[in-house]
Amino acid sequence: MIVISRNPWFREVFPVAQRLKKAVIPAAGFGTRLLPATKAQPKEMLPIVDRPAIQYVVEEAIAAHLPDILIITGKGKHAIEDHFDRNFELEEELGKSDKREALEEIREIIRKARLHYTRQNELLGLGDAIRYARDHVDKESFAVLLGDTLLRPSGSCLKELVAIHERTGDAVLAVEEVPADKVDRYGILEIESQTRDREFKVKRIIEKPSVEEAPSRLAAAGRYILLPEIFEILDTVQPGKNNEIQLTDALQILAQQGRLHAYQFEGKRYDVGNKTDYVLTTLEYALDRPDLPGIREAVHEILKGK
């Protein structure tokens, strides 16, 4: 179905029910909360058990049938590109040593995804990072997955966001309910109405409100479906603190136009961008691995000694 955009920021004709194919992963940040580990290693490449964090994000996009993936990198992030590139010497060695399972695992993600890269020249906020995807996504809606945020189960939340977008033609963000005493750490949604089970129409987003001011406990969870007109909206957003352009400000405009939905996903979000949550994420992922049966017993032994 073809409609004329209701958005005054964008006047062209767009197919609102077009099947999404593209995902964008912003991964340009310095990772200062994880120093010194991130001084020479991208935070997105720090391992969660035996694979880097960003590989889980790429696998999530693939699981949601979004194989065309643009990763927005920055200075010192070459390791991300190297990880998803062919390594013929390693593949030959694995073949010789009869490690076929490991060989197939490293080849599989390269076969399933079409990976592209661009560099954010200056770190000026998430909104600015997304603007670097303009040429790649062209006039299509697209998914955004934050590179330091993992969701489980993988792919299910993103599939729901895609379904809502294809049904409504609007932008969608994933949200989670956070504890009342932590609402001042997040952008909190004010809901206009509940449209379906776990689905909402967003009235506005309040950045880091006090407990008394918070209209809900629903906070953004690092997954979005954005419309192509987001780029023209971002071009009008005034820079804020540290001259940064924030995605939240652009989403506010979409909410004012009645074009922003939220989905409260069923699952768990992991922030691997700080030390405590990084360690806890690694531990939880390890405990769920049937091929690592000794982890749980070892943790019990460690705790008994404390």
pLDDT digits (tens, 9 = 90+) for 163-175: 999 999 999 999 9
Residue 15 binned pLDDT confidence (cut-offs 50, 70, 90): very low
Task: Judge whether 6 lies within some domain.
Answer: no
User: With DSSP H G I counted as helix, E B as strand and the rest as coil, what are the percentages for the chain, rounded to 5?
Assistant: 40, 25, 35
DSSP H stretches of helix in 113-268: 126-131, 134-137, 156-168, 230-236, 247-256
Task: Judge whether 287 lies within some domain.
Answer: yes
Task: Judge whether 112 lies within some domain.
Answer: yes
Choose among 124, 151, 165, 140: nearest CA to 230: 140
d(CA 57, CA 38): 19
Task: Judge whether 26 lies within some domain.
Answer: yes
Task: Judge whether 94 lies within some domain.
Answer: yes
Task: Judge whether 100 lies within some domain.
Answer: yes
Structurally, the chain folds into a number of domains equal to 1
Task: Judge whether 55 lies within some domain.
Answer: yes
Higher pLDDT, 213 or 18: 213
d(CA 258, CA 236): 18
Domain that holds residue 37: 19-173+221-228+266-304
Choose among 27, 42, 272, 44: nearest CA to 130: 27
Choose among 257, 181, 186: nearest CA to 212: 181
Q: How many CB atoms lie within 10 A of CB 60?
A: 26
- Cβ atoms 44, 82 nearer than 8 A: no
pLDDT at position 18 is 66
For residue 134, with 0-12 CB atoms within 10 Å meaning exposed, 13-18 middle and 19 or more buried, which class applies? middle
pLDDT at position 224 is 97
Task: Judge whether 125 lies within some domain.
Answer: yes
Mean pLDDT of the chain: 89
Q: What is the CATH number of the domain that holds 60?
A: 3.90.550.10
Q: Encode pLDDT of 95-129 as tens digits.
A: 888 788 888 888 888 889 999 999 999 999 999 99
